Amino acid sequence: MSHKSGEQAGVTFSLPQVEIGPSGRLSCMTQDSASAQREVGSDLIIIGAGIVGAMCAHYAINSGLRTIVIDRNAVASGTTGAGEGNIMVSDKTPGPELDLALISRELWFEVGARVGDTFELVAKGGISVARNNPQPLRGLAQSQTLVGVDAREVDANALSKLEPFISPEIKYGVHYPQDAQCQPMLAAARILQDFQRRGGQLRSHQEVISIEETSDGVAVKTVDTVFRASHVINAAGTWAGEIAKRAGSDLPIMPRRGFILVTAPLPPYVFHKVYDSDYVDNVASSDADLQTSTVIEGTKSGTILIGASRERVGYDKSMSVPVIKKLARQATSLFPVLRDAQLLRVYNGFRPYSPDHLPVIGPDSRIKGLYHCAGHEGAGIGLSAASGKLISEMITGVKTFVDATPFSPARFQNLLVS
Ligand SMILES: Cc1cc2nc3c(=O)[nH]c(=O)nc-3n(C[C@H](O)[C@H](O)[C@H](O)COP(=O)(O)OP(=O)(O)OC[C@H]3O[C@@H](n4cnc5c(N)ncnc54)[C@H](O)[C@@H]3O)c2cc1C
């Protein structure tokens, strides 16, 4: 609501800004000093309007919490805008992350139905291929099958039917029909639009500067507003460590850079997400140095996305010709038909890396009222639905659908950020 002022008997006066939220609660900003701040109240504040923040908002509003999402930029302007949108179960070894991924995959389709949009969500399936010894991939697939993953071994003949343009040198693969893909930016935008339609508030272009514990909850400050609530969720992705610091706590989330090559639109050459089986090892590696493995997939528009690289080089946005060359070379060895493809663009983004490769979901060990939902690294799109549901269950105090202990921020209590 705009600031109102007028003149009466030669005296300039100003009315305080008053805002009525969907809950009927008033917020107010006095205009007397430059340092005056608007006060806004709600039950829950979510910092970050990426896919994780959007899913947190979705489940919070489902639970009846009056919720405000704050982002310093626009929706999906962080790593969500750089993600490929895979919702994968195939690249995870049995354990808590795979358990979460299996549930999250189902929830994605539920969220789509609830929001009334598909976000280009499609269960197109993934294929992991072994260039040499098939045993490690076979062993992984067998262990995954035991925990509910649909993993089907395919020989050269079956492979050529699933992927007619794959190199004939590839003799063994595993087909994972559950692997899905969505358009992550569209998903975050649509989920947050639905959230707003149901009374949630979105404040973009407001940077969170500090978070303080108060007698009845938390105060989250931006440059001109104090947001008060019982709880705050830190869904700031790669920047979640910075948010934790601003609250007086700590979280060892670091950027892990990844490049994506995007070809000009092509005829349909790649029908699944196809990747080298060493990708699983690269994902799980804690090495800061460059790792690359071939990951290729088509999109609805006909472009082909080529990845994947991983390296911890801080927030260095610069292009790396050696990485780009390496990714292109690996891709053409898997799909020789791509040798003539033109590159449309190359971009990079920063995965929110946590030292043990598990997301951080749960209450901060120091600051009451502060919850974290971050550090999903290269799986944040896929895991976002289950993460949002889990954190909303924690905050509302209902029994969680999965044991959240492996994701607890407390596991890092004695760890220093490297
Ligand atoms: C090349 C690449 C490919 C990927 N492919 C996949 C994939 O196929 N499948 C998959 O599951 N994952 C993939 N990922 C990972 C995935 O993109 C991330 O895990 C996910 O997007 C993280 O989402 P988020 O909402 O936690 O973070 P973000 O999308 O980064 O959102 C965090 C938000 O917090 C905001 N913020 C930060 N600081 C502040 C502040 N002080 N005040 C207010 N707002 C703040 C930022 O502006 C940002 O919008 C990929 C990542 C990369 C880099």
Atom number in ligand 1 closest to CA 53: 25
For residues 233 and 375, state if they share a domain: yes
| pLDDT interval class at 288 (50, 70, 90) | confident
Range of the domain at 163: 126-177+254-353
Ligand 1 atom 21 nearest Cα? 80
Residue 221: CATH number of its domain? 3.50.50.60
Residue from 109, 269, 243 nearest 178 by CA: 109
Residue 292 has a pLDDT of 83
Pocket test for ligand 1, best of 47, 73, 80 (most atoms within 8 A of CB): 80
pLDDT recorded at residue 282? 67
Q: Which tens digit of pLDDT belongs to each residue from 202-250? A: 999 999 999 999 999 999 999 999 999 999 999 999 999 999 999 999 9
- What mean pLDDT comes out for the span 248-267? 96
71 lines ligand 1 (CB under 6 A): yes
Residue 68 reports pLDDT greater than 70:
yes
- Candidates 381, 384, 390, 407: which one to mutate for ligand 1, based on the most atoms within 8 Å of Cβ? 381
Residues 249 and 288 in one domain: no
CB of 328 shorter than 6 A to ligand 1: no
- Does the pLDDT value for residue 162 go beyond 70? yes
Using most ligand atoms within 8 A of CB, pick from 70, 72, 79 the residue to mutate for ligand 1.
79
Q: What is the pLDDT of residue 223?
A: 95
Helix or strand (DSSP H, E) at 112? helix 96-115
pLDDT of residue 235: 98
Do 246 and 258 lie in a common domain?
Answer: no
Of the residues 334, 353, 372, the one at which a domain ends? 353
State whether 396 and 283 are in the same domain.
Answer: no
Q: Is 100 within the bounds of a domain?
A: no
Mean pLDDT of the chain: 89
**Which residue's C-alpha comes closest to atom 52 of ligand 1?**
83
User: 254-286: b or e for each residue (b if 16 or more CB lie within 10 Å)?
Assistant: bbbbbbbbbbeebeebbbbbbbbbbbbebbeee
Ligand 1 midpoint to CA 234 (Å)? 12
Both 135 and 160 in one domain: the answer is yes
Burial 346-374 (b: 16+ CB within 10 A, else e): bebbbbbbbeebbbbbbbbeebebbbbbb
Q: What is the mean pLDDT of residues 296-317?
A: 92
Do 316 and 275 lie in one domain? The reply is yes
Give the model confidence (pLDDT) of 378-402 as tens digits: 999 999 999 999 999 999 999 999 9
Is 105 a member of any domain?
no
Do 338 and 268 fall into the same domain?
yes
**Which among 61, 74, 40, 47 is positioned nearest to 371, based on CA atoms?**
47
Is the C-beta atom of 101 inside 6 A of ligand 1? Answer: no
Enter the pTM of the model.
0.91
Do 272 and 386 fall into the same domain?
no
Q: Is 51 in the pocket of ligand 1 (CB under 6 A)?
A: yes
Instruction: Give me the pLDDT at residue 170, please.
Output: 94
Whether 50 maps to a domain, the answer reads yes
Q: Is the CB of 378 under 6 A from ligand 1?
A: yes
Nearest CA to ligand 1 atom 17: 83
The predicted structure's pLDDT at residue 415: 62
Task: Tell me the helix, strand and coil percentages in the chain, rounded to 5.
Answer: 30, 30, 40
Ligand 1 center–CA 338 separation, angstroms: 29
**Is 338 a domain residue?**
yes
Residues 291 and 340 in one domain: yes
Tokens of 30: 């006095």
Q: Let me know if residue 168 belongs to a domain.
A: yes
Look at the chain and report how many structural domains it folds into: 2
Q: What percent of the chain has pLDDT over 70?
A: 89
Whether 14 shows a pLDDT value over 50: the answer reads no
Is residue 377 a part of any domain in this protein?
Answer: yes
> What is the whole-number distance in angstroms between the Cα of residue 268 and the centre of ligand 1?
29
